[in-house]
Amino acid sequence: MKRELKKLAGELAAYIRTVDEDTYMPPVTGNQLPVTSNQSQVASYQLPVTSNQLPVASRRPPGDGAEMAALIEEMKQCRKCLLGNSRLNAVFGVGNTAAKVVFVGEGPGFDEDHRGEPFVGRSGALLDKILDTVLGLKRSDVYIANIVKCHPMVNPENPEARGNDRPPTPEEISACRPYLDKQLSFIKPKCIVTLGSVATRVLLGVTQGISLARGKWYDYPVELFGPGHPIKVLPTYHPAALLRNPNLKRDTWEDMKMLKAFIEK
């Protein structure tokens, strides 16, 4: 009976995620912007640098990789939130640490947890295809990461179950967010692409669903590289949403063409 209930809970969570991609909005946390309905305000708002971020002057380029390696080791040992107790692998990120563009998703799922790499499985294959066909890039040309580094599970006692995914909680996002900002500060990308509503909401604080937020450039509201060096952010659909609804591909292709024009100029 208990096992059946857990299975049902997993299936229900998976179903909710299929219908909720456009509307899911995790509550704003202390690391995010105040909610505002004025998008231009959101685009220009600059959060003050906090103690969660590295001092700008202390950053070295990613060339020697020592700081990034130390961060990876720290993350592998991390238990700052409960996800650290149930993960199989902490999933840091993958790709070129000098990339012009960083793609950011929500968090690892079953396949990512098992393989220790973000965006593998069907969503990852589609992301690779988009990179190749629209941007002429390989996975190794860009950097790919997530908001949280460990797999949020409906039933954390069963990491071997598929359909056990859930969105990260505000507390988990808050605990993990410094890793992403440190990653970004080492990579120093020209722009970030947020994949889906959760990543967009967390990084930009926009209140709209992804269908309204996508296809526009924003300024990343955390000052990582000092005044006058904003990172641009382009929200688009999560590849999983395209798998569920192929009609979204047209808009995604348009977004990727905007990205291509930006990184090539």
Contact set with ligand SF4 (CB under 6 A): 75, 78-81, 83-84, 90, 148-150, 172, 175-176
Please say which residue, 87 or 214, places its beta carbon nearer to ligand SF4.
87
Find all residues with CB under 8 Å of 43, minimum gap 6, and list them: 216, 217, 218, 219
Please say which residue, 11 or 74, places its beta carbon nearer to ligand SF4.
74
**How far apart are the C-alpha atoms of 6 and 127, rounded to whole Å?**
31
Beta carbon of residue 22, minimum distance to ligand SF4 (angstroms, whole number):
25
**How far apart are the C-alpha atoms of 198 and 24, rounded to whole Å?**
7
> In the bound complex, which residue of the shown chain has the CB atom lying closest to ligand SF4?
84
Please say which residue, 21 or 172, places its beta carbon nearer to ligand SF4.
172
Count Cβ atoms below 10 Å from residue 257 Cβ, excluding itself. 12
Beta-sheet pairing, 218-219 with 143-146:
unpaired
Please say which residue, 54 or 78, places its beta carbon nearer to ligand SF4.
78
Please say which residue, 83 or 153, places its beta carbon nearer to ligand SF4.
83
Beta carbon of residue 19, minimum distance to ligand SF4 (angstroms, whole number):
25
Beta carbon of residue 110, minimum distance to ligand SF4 (angstroms, whole number):
16
Beta carbon of residue 88, minimum distance to ligand SF4 (angstroms, whole number):
12
Please say which residue, 43 or 148, places its beta carbon nearer to ligand SF4.
148
Beta-sheet pairing, 232-236 with 93-95:
unpaired
**Length of the chain counted residue by residue:** 265
Beta carbon of residue 108, minimum distance to ligand SF4 (angstroms, whole number):
9
Beta carbon of residue 175, minimum distance to ligand SF4 (angstroms, whole number):
4
Of 245, 258, 242, 254, residue with least CA distance to 125: 242
